[in-house]
């Protein structure tokens, strides 16, 4: 009977079954994942972006969104990408650009959000008019002014922008801007139809003769309006963090708030939703089809649940008992590996989806590392293990098939086990959990019967007194002390066997089967007329039973040797 593999006491695997190493499992997964990514990217840029997305209106929605963003005055299009306005330079020259951002903020809120023409516009005050395509009449009604009186309407819009965007409101001490104020008309009253100007305090600071003081004042104003740090000549976007503006400063800057307001505009939301849905549907084939093929379909059709990666590193899926896993277990095993890929289809940010996916597989691998049974989460749930094909000569359907095979092919399976044992430990005896297997001491030639091994097999069988001794000899486990004693005994027997010679009786030489074996081994047939003479000259061995272990030695040659 086969030796039980003591490397896994819980599952009690047969001795010829060896669980795959962590490195091989991880390597197989990496190969399958790389294949999945390669096919996924191919599907994304062909089927997804060239077929699915355009048919869902992605290109039209993108073009309209870009046109709307450029119309807002807050964005610019560069090489097919929307970017915010940033400027190159450093020092006072760079920070003087705050005036440009003030113009853009004022234009967006005053001229676009509160258009003075009667045409339908895409821009609305979302806190005034909860309606897409609000007209001047809609805004005027919300501001409680007449839409027909243009001057009244423009002043009402300007007053709203000053109060709610720049936090400047006449007669309200809580809304007093530290940097800006409204310009004055000829009669000294606030002009709400023109962009804000610096107040007297900061106007004096930016006009100071001291360059350092001027720069310091402009930095303060710049951070309030924009918050972006200077960019290099090679940069096309704003730096989000620097000495001149922290991320919080940028977030609270007027220009940043205006950009956020644009994103929330009804028309911008509508176009963005069209593009988002088209992009989502376009990514479904690239996110699901490749992992479905490599992690689920292939294991169902290939032998022993193999994938492309498992074929490459030579590992297979087996039942936790060491026998072949049925299709149900393999399907469950493969399905549980494929399931985390479905997380990529969640309606969240793609980065969040990939983080969730990676976290699931990380937990699965950690469980694999700390389990004595060397089972991952999906292995435990499917009652499967991953075995090393190189160290495991074969997998049986069940124990009955194993016993049936061992009854007729014991020598072959023993030779296979011994071969892998010798490959694994060439420099010393084979130990399993501190105990040495007697298989390490067996002669590989015992796995194959021919005319040169029949005698040795017979002599070994004569030395065995019981079935228990046979079991111990062919599949037992010995301590190191027992192994040393066993080695000494084997050496003595080997010396005795070298001196022991047997001959074959004439009747046995006539046996066609024995003659066939001799021909296969290169032994020439003894002439009939010489057989009798040779037999008379040869001394009779008391142990001779008619089986020839070695080629007969002529008597004359034997005497010369003596």
pLDDT computed for residue 333 by the predictor: 95
The pTM (predicted TM-score) of the whole model is 0.60
CA-derived radius of gyration, the chain: 44
Structure tokens at 400: 């009955």
pLDDT computed for residue 385 by the predictor: 93
Of 17, 123, 10, the C-alpha closest to 73 is 123
Of 449, 448, 430, 426, the C-alpha closest to 438 is 430
Q: Inter-axis angle of helices 254-263 and 266-292, to 10 degrees?
A: 70
DSSP per-residue string spanning 264-276 = TSHHHHHHHHHHH
pLDDT computed for residue 134 by the predictor: 67
Whole-number Å distance between alpha carbons of 66 and 63: 5
Render each residue's pLDDT in the chain as its tens digit; 562 residues: 344 443 444 447 787 889 999 999 999 999 999 999 999 999 999 999 999 999 999 999 999 889 888 888 889 888 888 888 877 777 888 888 899 999 999 988 888 777 766 554 454 555 555 555 667 777 788 788 888 888 898 898 899 889 888 988 887 767 788 899 999 998 888 999 999 999 999 999 999 999 999 999 999 999 999 877 665 433 333 333 333 446 777 788 899 888 888 888 777 888 899 999 999 999 999 999 999 999 999 999 999 999 999 999 999 999 998 899 999 999 999 999 999 999 999 887 788 989 999 999 999 989 988 888 888 899 999 999 999 999 888 888 888 887 777 777 766 665 655 555 455 545 444 433 333 343 444 444 444 444 444 455 555 555 555 444 544 444 445 556 666 776 777 777 666 655 544 444 455 555 666 666 666 555 555 555 545 555 555 555 554 544 444 445 454 444 454 4
Using the structure block, give the residue that is written with the tokens 């001229």.
111
Task: Using alpha carbons, list the distances in angstroms from residue 199 to 10, 212, 327, 549.
Answer: 81, 20, 80, 116
């Amino acid at each position: 009977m086969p030796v039980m593999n003591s490397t896994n006491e819980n599952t009690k695997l047969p001795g010829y079954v060896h669980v795959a190493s962590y490195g091989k499992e991880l390597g197989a997964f990496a190969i399958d994942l790389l294949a999945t990514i390669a096919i996924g990217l191919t599907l994304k840029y062909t089927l997804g972006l060239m077929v699915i997305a355009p048919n869902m209106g992605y290109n039209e929605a993108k073009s309209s969104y870009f046109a709307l963003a450029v119309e807002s005055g807050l964005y610019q299009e560069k090489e097919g990408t929307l970017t915010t306005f940033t400027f190159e330079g450093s020092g006072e020259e760079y920070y003087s650009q705050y005036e440009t951002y003030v113009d853009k903020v004022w234009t967006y809120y005053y001229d676009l959000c509160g258009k003075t023409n009667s045409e339908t516009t895409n821009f609305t005050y979302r806190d005034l008019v909860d309606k897409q395509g609000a007209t001047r009449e809609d805004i005027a009604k919300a501001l409680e002014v007449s839409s027909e009186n243009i001057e009244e309407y423009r002043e009402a819009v300007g007053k709203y922008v000053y109060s709610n965007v720049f936090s400047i409101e006449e007669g309200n001490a809580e809304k007093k801007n530290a940097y800006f104020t409204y310009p004055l008309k000829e009669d000294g009253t606030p002009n709400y139809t023109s962009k804000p100007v610096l107040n007297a305090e900061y106007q004096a600071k930016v006009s100071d003769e001291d360059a350092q003081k001027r720069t310091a004042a402009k930095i303060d104003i710049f951070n309030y309006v924009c918050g972006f740090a200077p960019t290099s000549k090679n940069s096309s976007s704003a730096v989000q963090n620097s000495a001149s503006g922290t991320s919080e400063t940028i977030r609270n800057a007027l220009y940043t708030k205006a950009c956020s307001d644009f994103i929330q505009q009804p028309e911008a939301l509508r176009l963005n939703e069209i593009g988002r849905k088209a992009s989502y549907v376009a990514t479904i084939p690239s996110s699901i089809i490749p992992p479905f093929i490599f992690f689920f379909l292939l294991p169902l059709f290939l032998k022993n649940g193999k994938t492309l990666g498992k074929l490459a590193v030579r590992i297979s899926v087996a039942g936790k008992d060491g026998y072949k896993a049925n299709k149900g277990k393999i399907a469950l095993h493969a399905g549980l590996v494929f399931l985390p890929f479905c997380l990529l289809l969640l309606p969240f940010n793609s980065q969040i989806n990939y983080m969730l996916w990676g976290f699931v597989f990380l937990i699965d691998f950690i469980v694999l590392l700390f389990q004595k049974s060397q089972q991952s989460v999906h292995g435990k749930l499917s009652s499967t293990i991953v075995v090393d094909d190189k160290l495991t000569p074969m997998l049986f359907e069940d124990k009955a098939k194993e016993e049936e095979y061992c009854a007729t092919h014991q020598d072959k399976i023993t030779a296979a086990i011994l071969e892998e044992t010798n490959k694994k430990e060439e420099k010393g005896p084979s130990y399993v959990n501190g105990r040495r297997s007697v298989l390490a001491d067996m002669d590989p030639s015992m796995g194959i019967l021919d005319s040169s091994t029949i005698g040795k097999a017979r002599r070994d069988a004569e030395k065995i007194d019981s079935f228990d001794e046979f079991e111990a000899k062919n599949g037992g486990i010995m301590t190191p002390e027992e192994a040393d004693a066993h080695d000494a005994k084997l050496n003595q027997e080997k010396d005795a066997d070298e001196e022991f010679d047997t001959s074959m009786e004439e009747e046995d030489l006539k046996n066609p089967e024995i003659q066939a074996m001799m021909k296969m081994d290169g032994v020439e047939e003894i002439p009939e007329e010489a057989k009798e003479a040779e037999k008379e000259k040869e001394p009779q061995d008391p142990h001779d039973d008619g089986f020839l272990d070695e080629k007969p030695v002529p008597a004359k040659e034997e005497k010369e040797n003596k």
